[in-house]
């Protein structure tokens, strides 16, 4: 195998596939990165069994030469060293060559590295997803769905199903829901031309987090296919494959209160900043508990009291208030996560009682909803 490739293109692909490579992989060869050269371009592959990422560098695209002098072949290089070597090479092009004894030579300008490679035939074959049932979504919209729900997955392995995001299909609507049983985040979007063969799947939160980092913030199309307990996200030059979580996701719709006793309309940024300041004194508490109290129809008080540290209270202007007075305590971290995910200048918060879950949603009627369980304080 031999080829000359543009260093920037190589770095970009290496960074993408490294997101699937773990130094603690159960199969030793998976701690490496597979490089395959063919006449039409170079494919890099990384996998940790749960996530697999393939990044393709086309030999030529839009009149630009990315890779040339290609002699077909494949090799597995040590992922612990290869990315750093590539990043620090002196010239804009890199020559990579592997010989029959699995020795890899990397040249750029006056720099030359020799690495021991591994036989690419021993690298596990990625499962092929054979399915005609797929649909497309814009990359920036998919990133938004992940950003607005993924943070609410559980980090506890005691209930593995809650470490994932539940994705449901309902006619032409795509629903994303995540909960760790103390909070819930959901968002739905309309998708045209859906031919998906699933009604409900659970994608690991970790997989979506890595996908979020790789996707560009633009309107390029991402094709999504599901089969054999795997999900494939495919863009022009990238395949991102993840296993799905086994089990039934809990029915979350019954958690969402149908009517409210109190409805507050607030400016999002002002509320975020005030809760952020109040949480400074709650930092050592287990839940970072902050208290919200309505003073009158125009004012809200955000306060925090830590016996060892001190106390803080700050008033926030209400845009409007309907219903009964409310006094409620909650985790400042959960509240800040929820408010930041909404991405709207104004929010509505609906309460149904001091110990009942409350809902946060944008004022513009976007189908995004955040639900938080209050904290009991004594």
Scan for tokens 């795997």, then name that residue: 230
pLDDT of residue 306: 84
pLDDT of residue 353: 86
User: Cα–Cα distance between 209 and 144 in angstroms, integer?
Assistant: 12
DSSP 208-259: HHHHHHHS-SS--EEEEEEETTEEEEEETTEEEEEEPPPSPPP--GGGS-SS
User: Cα–Cα distance between 50 and 64 in angstroms, integer?
Assistant: 35
pLDDT of residue 191: 84
Domain boundaries, the chain: 2-122, 138-218+243-253, 257-372
Domain 2-122 bears CATH identifier 3.10.150.10:
yes
Domain 138-218+243-253 bears CATH identifier 3.10.150.10:
yes
Helices (H), the chain: 7-18, 82-87, 139-149, 205-214, 268-278, 332-342
Q: Do domains 2-122 and 257-372 have the same CATH topology?
A: no
CATH architecture of 257-372: Box (3.70)
pLDDT of residue 378: 59
* Eight-state DSSP code of residue 160: G
Q: Could you give the C-alpha distances from 191 to 234, 279, 314, in angstroms and in order?
A: 17, 39, 43
pLDDT of residue 132: 67
* Eight-state DSSP code of residue 7: H
Residues of the chain with pLDDT under 70: 129-132, 195-197, 284-287, 378
- Class of residue 231 by CB neighbours under 10 A (exposed 0-12, middle 13-18, buried 19+): buried
364-368-373 Cα angle (round to 5): 115
Tokens of 178: 């995540």
In tens, the pLDDT along 233-276 reads 999 999 999 999 999 999 998 889 989 999 999 999 999 999 99
pTM of the model: 0.92
Scan for tokens 């970009």, then name that residue: 12
**Tally of CB atoms within 10 A around 198:** 13
Give bridge partners of residue 64 from the DSSP assignment.
61
pLDDT of residue 197: 65
Closest by CA to 350, choosing from 262, 253, 220, is 262
User: Cα–Cα distance between 5 and 20 in angstroms, integer?
Assistant: 22
User: Cα–Cα distance between 328 and 120 in angstroms, integer?
Assistant: 59
Are the CB atoms for 357 and 374 separated by under 8 Å?
A: yes
- Specify the pairing of strand 111-116 against strand 103-108: antiparallel
90-94-95 Cα angle (round to 5): 135
Tokens of 36: 């395959």
pLDDT of residue 376: 83
Q: Could you give the C-alpha distances from 139 to 144, 218, 220, in angstroms and in order?
A: 9, 6, 6
């Amino acid at each position: 195998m031999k080829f000359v490739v543009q260093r920037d293109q190589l770095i970009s692909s290496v960074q993408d596939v490294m997101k699937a490579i773990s130094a603690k992989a159960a199969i030793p060869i998976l701690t490496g990165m597979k490089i395959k050269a063919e006449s039409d371009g170079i494919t890099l592959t990384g996998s940790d069994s749960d996530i697999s990422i393939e990044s393709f560098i086309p030999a030529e695209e839009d009149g630009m030469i990315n890779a040339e002098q290609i002699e077909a072949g494949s090799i597995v290089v040590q992922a612990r060293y290869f990315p750093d070597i590539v990043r620090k090479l002196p010239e804009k092009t890199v020559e990579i060559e592997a010989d029959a004894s699995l020795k890899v030579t990397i040249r750029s300008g006056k720099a030359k590295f020799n690495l021991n490679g591994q036989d690419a035939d021993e690298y596990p074959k990625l499962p092929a997803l054979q399915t005609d049932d797929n649909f497309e979504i814009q990359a920036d919209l998919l990133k938004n769905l992940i950003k607005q729900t993924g943070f609410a997955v559980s980090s506890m392995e005691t209930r593995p199903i809650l470490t994932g995001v539940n994705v449901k299909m309902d006619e032409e609507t795509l629903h994303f829901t995540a909960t760790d049983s103390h909070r819930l985040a959901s968002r739905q979007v309309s998708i045209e031309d859906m031919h998906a063969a699933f009604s409900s799947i659970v994608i690991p939160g970790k997989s979506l987090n890595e996908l979020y980092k790789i996707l560009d913030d633009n309107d390029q199309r991402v094709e999504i296919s599901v089969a054999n307990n795997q999900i494939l996200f495919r863009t022009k030059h990238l395949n991102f494959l993840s296993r799905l979580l086994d089990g039934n996701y809990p029915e979350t719709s019954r958690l969402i209160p149908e009517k409210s006793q109190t409805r507050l309309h607030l400016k999002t940024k002002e509320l975020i900043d005030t809760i952020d300041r109040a949480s400074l004194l709650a930092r050592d508490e287990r839940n970072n508990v902050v208290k919200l109290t309505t003073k009158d129809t125009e004012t809200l008080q955000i306060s925090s009291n830590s016996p060892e540290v001190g106390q803080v209270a700050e008033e926030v202007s209400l845009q409007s208030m309907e219903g009964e007075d409310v006094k409620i305590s909650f985790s400042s971290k959960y509240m800040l996560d929820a408010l930041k995910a909404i991405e709207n200048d104004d929010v509505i918060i609906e309460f149904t009682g001091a110990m009942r879950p409350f809902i946060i949603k944008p004022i513009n009627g976007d189908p995004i909803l955040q639900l938080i369980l209050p904290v009991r304080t004594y």
